[in-house]
Structure 1
Amino acid sequence: MWKSEVGRLKDPAALGARPEAFVIGDLSLVRALGREGVRSRLVTSNPNGAERWSRFVSDVVEVEHFEVDPEGAIRILNASAGDDRPVLFYQGDHDLLAVSRARERVERHFRVMLPPPALVEDLVDKLRFQTFAEKLGLPVPPGLCLVHGLDWGPELDRWTRFPAVIKPNRREGWFGSDLLVAANARGKAIHVRGPTELKRLRPWLQRHPTDVLLQQAIPGDESNLLSYHAYVRPGGEVVGEFTGHKVRTYPATYGLSTYVVVDDNAPLRTLGRDICERMGFSGVVKLDFKRDPFSGGLYLLEANPRFNLWHHPGALAGVNLPYLVYVDLVQPGAIRGGVSRVERHVRWVGGVGRDFWARFEDRTPDVRAFGAWAREVFTAQIVEAPRLSDPGPFLYSLLDRTQRLVRGRGTS
């Protein structure tokens, strides 16, 4: 069985000489690998970040930003690999695209698990994904692709599916953009209540420098956001899988996760497997769904073919997807037995401060509400910041903020 296989593979001798992991990502991914004794080199354009002080990080590889200079980043990355072909992990869209597009060169220096090249492009690009999903008959909400520079005015005039949501094709240039400011929004998307609001935003939509997707909004708050996570081998074999749901995000609407729960939702697991099979997917994926609280229907919002913050709570729940990939790449055939599935539910908090603002964004907490929130947070199985078993990053951040505050007072 898989459980005994994990126990055996925790012995370093079971894998022979363990190559390091090169991680283009955050502490959730580093700590998921660290749970199994895998040391990481952090690949980043910010070598002075707090993540470098994790006890699981052996070194930092400074590269160009993958969004600004992907070719330069790949050159530095390959040059730093050494001779033992370390295992490469990616967590963002830009680094995934850069690695995928240079996969032949990267694979000379690294062991890396990548989805098929065309599928990477279809899933990362939201406009391409909308078309791709509709062609396959996947349960995506109806949408309209607004391509920068084209005249989509007539299609916009005919749009009647409200409320709606405006999503950036990719996030570069999104946060702080004139469009987001005009909509008085702060999150990953813009909520549009009706045609009057869409008409008001139209000039900013036309001037926005990248493509956007207009999509029918699914009712319900962020607690209706569910996800399916899996590692699928080439050929379609599911090696490990789990499901989860969000409790809070910041901002509360279209925000980033601050509190999530890993669970084992059997109907969602079945749907996730079916979608992966229909897409012909292999690699690591997170399928994001939203449940309509009135009909109970599940709508597919995104398919992200990369590693993510869920892997740390997933590992504690019994499904360490990054480590499964690591073992498959280092010692193919070592993982035998059935599919790795959740052994227990796990609650994860990204950071205490950020989750506080997520919980009390619109009101001042009273004593009872604050106490209930504190119990939720401090009984969670994982609190990423501060992390008592890996305190270095939090202590560095605290020291850095204190020094900035002192310097600021000294110049005032």
Structure 2
Amino acid sequence: MMDTLTCAGPELDRTVPALLVKVGHYPQHHGGLGVVRTLARAGVPVYAMVEDRYTPVALSRYLAGRFVHPTSGLEPPEHLVSALLAIGRAIGRPAVAVPTDDEAAVLLAEHADRLAGSFLLPPVRAGLPRRLANKAGMYRICRQYGVPTPRSCAPPDRAALLELCRDWGYPLVLKNLEAYTRLRAPVVGHTTLVRDEDELRAVVPRDGEISVLAQEYLPPESSQDWTTHLYCGAGGAVRVVFTGRKLRCWPPESGIASRAVAERDEQLARLAAGLCRALGYSGAADLDWRLDLRDGRFKLVDFNPRTGAQFRAFENLRGVDVVRAMHLDLTGRRVEAAGQLTSRTFVVGQLDLPSALDWARVHRRLPPAVLPHRGIERSWLHADDPLPAAAEAVRFTGLVARRLAGAMCSRAGRS
């Protein structure tokens, strides 16, 4: 059931708890479960904000306590800050706040002064996470600091988007532009590939103002998906930086990693660390890159100013991942430098099979198997903590059933 490869962990301060902070409705999130497990296994009490008492993370045996507080991202910031302060009072002592979405990272940074009495937070400049989470803002930052990135543009309305796409040509990638707006007025459900104008018109059917980024498409036959996961201390001091490859995603070419491997690339590590130092960024970060095989350059496609969903693919030889590095740093403990473990494969169970089938369809052969020397880190199924995987299986099955029923009703309506 479980074949994880991990190291003995560092000595974390067990008197300082942690809180998983979420804004928005996404109960089936394996990254949050990874946060709970990695800290609790090191003896840290971990609490979580959850949508309901039966979300997978709420059922983890490693969770010290859950706070049922569903949010949509439509609430005024004052409401969200007040809820966090109430949770802080219930915990009873300052806790390390670990955001797992861009909105939570923005909220914590922009209201750090009010939250500082209840939570330990990285000393990041208040407006920086919002700039980085904004796709157009990130593009401008890349241009400013000389970091390669695909050509991008944020047209103000649908007419300008159509004109841009006719000028650039298809296919193109569409992304919701910024934190909070993607929850309040999303243009696309997720990162979306449009191959022609008919697809674009179907995806963006209404005229008027839009909050979307159009980005140059780097096709899989001439590029590779890479990722960097970092934790930076005060002033952009890089404590840990990991690199790896996303082998498959779901949905294909635009979704979350369903299978990733730890693979060290020093050039990419220096590129990511250098950008964070130049920005003075502090906190956890998940950066997505495409290696453009046509010119050999890594190109930044997303900067997520928070913990990434697949962060558990990466540890160093001291057993430190980005979340443990955050806890060590914010509690005044040293983050020991050590080499990256490269014998790890990260698998998101329920998404791995459909992504493998799609990979086989595209490449007309079976996907490569995990190498014998590699350990598998599973996002959901762990023998010592089985209930979250069972809860996720129930929710995933229900989601698939609802979508199939919806598709059948749609076809019946057209017949």
TM beyond 0.5? yes
Q: For structure 1, which runs of at least 5 residues remain unmatched after alignment?
A: 1-5, 181-185, 406-412
Q: Which residue pairs with 2:325 in the alignment? A: 324
SS at match of 2:249: strand
Q: 3-state DSSP class of the match of 1:167?
A: strand
| Partner of residue 386, structure 1 | 381
Contact in 2 for aligned 1:123/1:305 (Cα 8 Å) = yes
Q: 1:304-348: CA deviations, max 9, x gaps?
A: 110122322224764311112112222x1x3165x3431333101
1:125-204 equivalence runs, <5 A: 125-148=134-157, 152=160, 156=164, 159-160=167-168, 162-170=170-178, 187-192=190-195, 196=197, 201=201, 204=204
Note the 1:5-404 alignment, pairs <5 A.
9=11, 15=13, 18-24=15-21, 26-65=32-71, 67-69=73-75, 70-82=77-89, 83-113=92-122, 115-148=124-157, 152=160, 156=164, 159-160=167-168, 162-170=170-178, 187-192=190-195, 196=197, 201=201, 204=204, 207=207, 210-220=210-220, 224-315=224-315, 318-330=319-331, 332=332, 334-335=333-334, 337=336, 339-351=337-349, 353-361=350-358, 369=366, 380-398=375-393
CA contact (8 A) 1:63 1:73 kept: no
- What is the alpha-carbon distance in structure 1 between the residues aligned to residue 45 and residue 372 of structure 2? 28
Indicate how the Cα distance of structure 1 residues 81 and 219 shifts in structure 2: closer, same or farther if over 3 A, else same: same
Change (3 A) 1:396 1:162: closer
Distance in 2, matches of 1:222 and 1:73, equals 43
1:326 partner amino acid: H
Q: CA offset at residue 31 of structure 1?
A: 1.8
Between the two proteins, the alignment pairs up a number of residues equal to: 377
* Secondary structure of the corresponding residue to residue 46 of structure 1: coil
3-state DSSP of counterpart to 1:81: helix
Question: Is residue 46–residue 62 contact of structure 1 (8 Å, CA) maintained in 2?
Answer: yes
Higher mean alpha-carbon deviation, 161-170 vs 113-122, is at: 161-170
Determine if contact 2:228/2:242 at 8 Å carries over to the other structure.
Answer: yes
- TM-score, length basis structure 2: 0.79
Letter in 2 for 1:324: A
CA pair 250-85 structure 1, distance change in 2 beyond 3 A: same
Once the 2 structures are TM-superposed, how far is the Cα of residue 402 of structure 1 from its aligned partner?
Answer: 8.9
* CA–CA distance in structure 1, aligned partners of residues 250 and 293 of structure 2: 21
Instruction: Note if contact 2:223-2:293 (Cα within 8 Å) is conserved in structure 1.
Output: no
CA 1:66–1:239 in 2, change beyond 3 Å: closer, same or farther?
Answer: farther
Note the alpha carbon deviations across 1:245-293, whole angstroms, 9 max, x for none. Answer: 1011111121121111122211111111222223232222222110112
Distance in 2 between the 1:157 and 1:402 partners?
37
Go from structure 1 to structure 2 and tell me whether the alpha carbon gap of 1:304 and 1:220 turns closer, same or farther (over 3 Å shift). Answer: same
SS at match of 1:360: helix
How does the TM-score come out when normalised to structure 1? Answer: 0.79
The alignment yields a C-alpha RMSD, in angstroms, of: 3.6
Is the 1:228–1:269 Cα contact (8 Å) retained in structure 2? Answer: yes
CA offsets 1:72-107 (integer angstroms, 9 cap, x no match): 232122112133111111010121222222221111
